[in-house]
Amino acid sequence: MKIEGVIFKEGEIPKKLFKIISGTVRETRKKTYHDLTSGDYVALLEYLTGIPLEEDIVAIDESEIVDVNWEDEYKGIVRKVVELRKIVYQTSVDVDNIVLEDFEFENVDLDEYLDQIESLLTLSAGELPDDKQDAIKMIEQLEDDKLITKVNLVRRFLEKFPQENVGARLLIETASKVYIILNDKFLAKALLKKVLLYFPNELEYCYEALKALEGIYRDEGNILWKRYQKSAKVIEVMLRGNA
């Protein structure tokens, strides 16, 4: 059947198992949504366990779903749960046994991305002054309508003054503006990850960057937010230890 809007209501225990043929269905648990698409099962957790739904489950665009039997879909259900389990491992950080791998965040080639934007917009950021204070002033004085130029200048600042911690602050401030004004999650995340890569010893900035990353991933319904939340907790404990 084709449907748009509420499929199951908050508090309901699904008595039917629906498989998505097309469209997007949104489930929300613990205030975090995740979108289901073709081949996914709607409210699989609540259907199998009999736990009432925390919030409405909604087809956010016109979706086609079919009523199926768990018996016929046995292996398909196992496959979907295994996919979820893989996420558990992707998002787990064992705070007692941290290994380097826990801090290997997704690869983002920010420079390549910015080069593409620059060539598209034929923007020129101009040269940064050799004096650090003048360079900071130039970056900070740029208006919000020149945000991409600002991002470019921050990038150049990091190249020119790699040892300067103020670079971390510039990255975080610029990322926050990019996210709020341009709503460019990709770019904002990339800038924040640069803080972790360039300033791993600046724990306060790393903490701020991780909390911001957690927020962005949470907003986009990407369960990777848990990884950043846990990493932020680790840094928080380290910061307390240093206090």
Partner 1 sequence: METLDFAPGEIIIKNGEKGKYVYIIKSGTVKSKTGLYESTLSDKNPDVFGIEALIGEAYTETCTAINEVKVIRCETEEFMEIYAKTDVGKKALESFMKRTAKALGWI
In the complex with partner 1, which residue's Cβ is closer, 30 or 240?
Answer: 30
Question: Is residue 57 near partner 1 by the rule CB under 8 A?
Answer: no
Nearest to 80 by CA among 125, 121, 38, 122: 38
Minimum CB–partner distance for residue 112 and partner 1 (Å)? 33
Q: What are phi and psi of 188, to 5 degrees?
A: -60, -45
Stretch that binds partner 1, among 56-64, 75-83, 131-139, 152-160 (CB under 8 A): 75-83
Distance CA 212, CA 192 (A): 8
User: What character string, x for contact with partner 1 (CB under 8 A) and - otherwise, covers 173-212?
Assistant: ----------------------------------------
In the complex with partner 1, which residue's Cβ is closer, 84 or 197?
Answer: 84
Question: Is residue 218 near partner 1 by the rule CB under 8 A?
Answer: no
Beta strands in the chain (DSSP E): 2-8, 17-22, 25-29, 32-36, 41-42, 57-68
Residue 10: CA atoms inside 13 Å, Cβ hemisphere, count?
A: 7
CB 220 within 8 A of CB 35: no
In the complex with partner 1, which residue's Cβ is closer, 49 or 133?
Answer: 49
CB 179 within 8 A of CB 216: yes
Question: Is residue 6 near partner 1 by the rule CB under 8 A?
Answer: no
Residues that bind partner 1 (CB under 8 A): 29-30, 44-45, 48-49, 51, 70-71, 74-75, 77-79, 81-82, 84-89, 91-92, 94, 223, 226
